[in-house]
Each structure stands twice: as C-alpha cells, then as structure tokens.
Amino acid sequence: MTDKIAFITGATSGFGRAAARRFAEAGWSLVLTGRRTERLEALQGELGVPTHIVTLDVRDADAVKQAVAELPEPFRAVTCLVNNAGLALAPEKAQDVDLADWHTMIDTNCTGLVNVTHALINSLIAIGQGASIVNIGSVAGSWPYPGSHVYGATKAFVRQFSLSLRCDLLGTGVRVTDIEPGMAETEFTLVRTKGNQAASDALYGSTTPLTAEDIAEQIFYVATLPAHININRLEIMPTRQAWAGFAVDRD
C-alpha cells in the first residue's frame, strides 16, 4: 500500500476510468466505484496498484454509507475523493422531456455527489493537509445552451456546493476543486441519447474534443499540488469549442 488513496466514483468509463489509470501510474492506491461490476473488475485487473472495488449506485445513500464504513483497513485513509459519477439525459427541449430523466440527473449529479461527500468528509478532515475533494462539474453549470435545462442546473449546484464547502473546510487543510469540462469524448453522449452511437459520432466527429485522459490529467494535477494551493474552479474547453451568440426570437 502507498500512503495516498484516491476514491473515485464512476470509474467504469470516461473521466473516472482515465483518472484511475492516472493515479495508478503515480503509485496511488485506489477505491473504485460504479454500477458495472465487470468493468470495475477489468480495471482492477489492469492496474498494478492496490485497488478496492465496490459496485455502488451513488444515488443510494445507505449503500454509499455502508461502502465507506466497510472499506478495508488499508483503504480507509482516503486522501482524494473524486466525485465524478454523473450523467446528462434528455438533450431535447425542456418542454419535451420525461420528468423521470430530470429526476435521474438530480438524483445522480446532486444527491449522489452529496451522499459520497457526506460519507467521506470527516475522514478527509482527519487527513487534513493535502487532502482533496475534486468535483466534476461542467461548463453547462455556467453557460446555458438549448437542452441543458436540468443538467446545467445540476452542474451549477456542483459549482456552488464546491465553493460553499471551501468556506466550511477552511482551517481543516482539505481542498475543494470544481473541474468544469467542455466537450469531451467519452460515453457521455451515448448515455445522453440513450444509445445513439451515430449522434455521439456526429458530435465528436470533424473536430478535436477533449479526451478522458485530458481531464484525468487535470484531476491528478489539482490533487497533487503543494498542500497550500487550492484551485477553486477549473474550466476547460477544447480549443475548437466556444460559445454561440445570444438567441433572439424574431417575427
């Protein structure tokens, strides 16, 4: 075991899986969570560092609490929590969305994130200097676009929760960062479109999106800065992405 342990939610795909590989490369021990057990097992088998896996739905507060309470002794002193599990659904207009999709985004991106934070916050405080919470927000939390509705609102929650946590954690040594990526090619669009591979390919095609590894590098960067430095927010876009102008309804 090393003395550095990262606890990553949503480690079965995208940013979370890439972050697991990045921390492992640097010799950190890992606690990896997600709902797809076979992917967690495959990742555990690939990484050459001590890795504890837990099949976990972050929406289930009791299961989250139990997973943290049952961490094997060598994995208990978590140094860095990466609150990455999340999703967007329903890219159509707000007025055409199923209410269940809105609830799923709120339950995962907001409730799930606070469930995990609550379960680990006191052990992070016990670590103190050098401990980190890295939350994965989104540019959608600051910049609205058609179809961002509740997804954007959940990521605004992540940003404000991150900033608010900093106030309460002042003096504990625990850092909090909200990483806010723009367009990055992962399974994100496949999930958002409920399996439409062509839509995913069209979005990421003919341009240069961020990669999961790009974001993993930033997660690792903020978590390994000298203990006296806290990056509050880190907004990252591909060079080939920018904002559109204001939309105007005309006669």
Ligand X SMILES: NC(=O)c1ccc[n+]([C@@H]2O[C@H](COP(=O)([O-])OP(=O)(O)OC[C@H]3O[C@@H](n4cnc5c(N)ncnc54)[C@H](OP(=O)(O)O)[C@@H]3O)[C@@H](O)[C@H]2O)c1
Residue in 8, 16, 19, 156 binding ligand X, rule: CB under 6 A = 16
Q: Burial code of 3-39, b = ≥16 C-beta within 10 A, e = fewer? A: ebbbbbbbbbbbbbbbbbbbbbeeebbbbbbbeeeeb
Residue in 78, 184, 222, 223 binding ligand X, rule: CB under 6 A = 184
Under the binding rule (CB under 6 A), the answer on residue 59 touching ligand X is: yes
- CA separation (Å) from 112 to 59, 217, 239? 4, 24, 31
Under the binding rule (CB under 6 A), the answer on residue 15 touching ligand X is: yes
Segment contacting ligand X by CB under 6 A, of 30-38, 73-81, 169-177, 241-249: 30-38
36 vs 170 by CB, closer to ligand X? 36
Active site residue 221: no
Under the binding rule (CB under 6 A), the answer on residue 86 touching ligand X is: yes
Under the binding rule (CB under 6 A), the answer on residue 50 touching ligand X is: no
The DSSP string of 33-90 is EES-HHHHHHHHHH-SS-EEEEE--TT-HHHHHHHHHT--GGG-S--EEEE-------
**CB-based closest residue to ligand X:** 14
Under the binding rule (CB under 6 A), the answer on residue 85 touching ligand X is: yes
Residue in 4, 14, 162, 178 binding ligand X, rule: CB under 6 A = 14
**Which long-range contacts link 185-190 to residues 24+ away (Cβ below 8 Å)?**
185/209, 185/210, 185/211, 185/212, 186/13, 186/14, 186/15, 186/212, 187/13, 187/14, 188/14, 188/87, 188/88
Under the binding rule (CB under 6 A), the answer on residue 108 touching ligand X is: yes
Under the binding rule (CB under 6 A), the answer on residue 53 touching ligand X is: no
75 vs 157 by CB, closer to ligand X? 157
Under the binding rule (CB under 6 A), the answer on residue 61 touching ligand X is: no
Instruction: With beta carbons less than 8 A apart as the criterion, state whether 136 and 84 touch.
Output: yes
Considering the candidates 145, 151, 204, 221, report the single residue annotated as catalytic.
151
- CA separation (Å) from 20 to 28, 46, 73, 139, 169? 9, 11, 20, 23, 25
Under the binding rule (CB under 6 A), the answer on residue 84 touching ligand X is: yes
Instruction: Give the pair of three-digit tokens for residue 133.
Output: 């919470």
Segment contacting ligand X by CB under 6 A, of 84-92, 120-128, 168-176, 217-225: 84-92
CB of 180 to ligand X, least distance (A): 7
Q: Which among 108, 131, 89 is positioned nearest to 223, based on CA atoms?
A: 131
CB of 170 to ligand X, least distance (A): 26
Annotated catalytic sites, by residue? 151
Would you tell me which residues interact with ligand X (CB under 6 A)? 9-10, 12-16, 34-36, 56-59, 84-88, 108, 112, 136, 138, 181, 183-184, 186-188, 191
